[in-house]
Structure 1
Amino acid sequence: MKFNKLTIVASAAALSLGVAACDGPTEEAMEDQAEAMETAMENEADAMEDAGMEAEADAMNEAADDVEDQMEAAADTVGEEMDGNEM
């Protein structure tokens, strides 16, 4: 059986949707909060860039990505435990 790139990508996407569907309300709320924090930081970075502060804007965007990753990792562990969905 041959797999092309599209088949592999479609399978991975379907699997990720299945895993995402297992999120409980606490985990989902924590992930939403992580995304909101990242968006706020990215908006601040955009304002910095508009003010000519490119280096600071780049650092803020990197920090925004790191914050979201850390908060989502916490949601995956703490949120699942609070929802009773430990994997």
Structure 2
Amino acid sequence: MKKLSYLFIALFSLSLLTTSCREQKSTGDKIEDAIDDAGDAVEDVADDVEDAVN
């Protein structure tokens, strides 16, 4: 019984060590990314319009 509990503790410890933690984005980071994406889209459309005019 004692060996079984040691085995369980060892496996549990191993699972904690191998589980990766993802970095959570804050709300500010998400907003900044959305603004950057929108700015890139506007620049792309402006380039397309410039090419169509020429």
TM-score by length of 2: 0.55
**Match status 1:29 vs 2:31:** yes
Deviation by residue 1:21-66 (Cα, 9 ceiling, x = unmatched): x2110000000000000001110000001012xxxxxxxxxxxxxx
State the structure with more CA Rg: 2
| Runs of 5+ consecutive residues of structure 2 not aligned to the other structure | 1-21
| Runs of 5+ consecutive residues of structure 1 not aligned to the other structure | 1-17, 53-87
Residues 28-67 of structure 1 aligned to structure 2 (within 5 Å): 28-52=30-54
CA distance in 1, matches of 2:50, 2:26: 36
TM-score by length of 1: 0.35
Percent identity among equivalent residues?
6
Residue of structure 2 in register with 1:78 after alignment: none
Match of 1:23, SS state, is coil
Q: Which runs of 4+ in 1 moved over 4 A?
A: none
Q: Aligned pairs, how many?
A: 33
